[in-house]
């Protein structure tokens, strides 16, 4: 999903497991995505957010993929990002992604494109 979003908005993709949080300093909007693990964000996502520097006036868009239920993913991330000075302007999710079949992301991407226009 990250690659589909990046291609649509012509933005770079960074792997949170191998990127330093300082990489986001040059961007006004941060788009973060995570799979749902135990109804929570992935541990790697939480570790990345914890390491983000505090900021002011930056926006964030969140997305997640899940099989059964997205749980508290957005609530948890929104709280942590707010503590870092980010304002979440949109949260979108996609259910039922199967690795062996193409997935349709246009609904999520259209919502993100609209949020970026505001």
Helix 106-117, helix 2-9: angle, nearest 10 = 50
CATH code of the domain in which 44 resides: 3.40.50.360
Task: Say if CB 88 and CB 64 are below 8 A apart.
Answer: no
**Total number of domains in the chain:** 1
Task: Say if CB 24 and CB 51 are below 8 A apart.
Answer: no
- Name the pTM for this structure: 0.87
Write out pLDDT tens, residues 13-47: 999 999 888 889 989 999 999 999 999 999 999 99
pLDDT of res. 67? 87
Enclosing H/E stretch for 7 = helix 2-9
| pLDDT lower than 70: segments of the chain | 97-103
Q: Which domain holds residue 38?
A: 2-117
Q: At 87, phi and psi to the nearest 5?
A: -110, 120
Q: How far apart are CA 44 and CA 90, in angstroms?
A: 21
């Amino acid at each position: 999903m990250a690659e589909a979003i990046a291609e649509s908005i012509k933005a770079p993709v960074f792997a949170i497991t191998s990127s330093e949080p300082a990489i986001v300093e040059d961007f006004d909007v941060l788009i973060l995505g995570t799979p749902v693990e135990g109804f929570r964000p992935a541990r790697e996502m939480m570790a990345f957010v914890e390491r983000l520097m505090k900021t002011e006036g930056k926006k964030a868009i969140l997305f997640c993929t899940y099989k059964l239920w997205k749980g508290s993913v957005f609530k948890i991330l929104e709280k942590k990002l707010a503590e870092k000075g980010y304002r979440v302007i949109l949260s979108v999710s996609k259910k039922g992604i199967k690795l062996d079949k193409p997935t349709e992301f246009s609904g999520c991407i259209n919502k993100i494109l609209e949020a970026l226009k505001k």
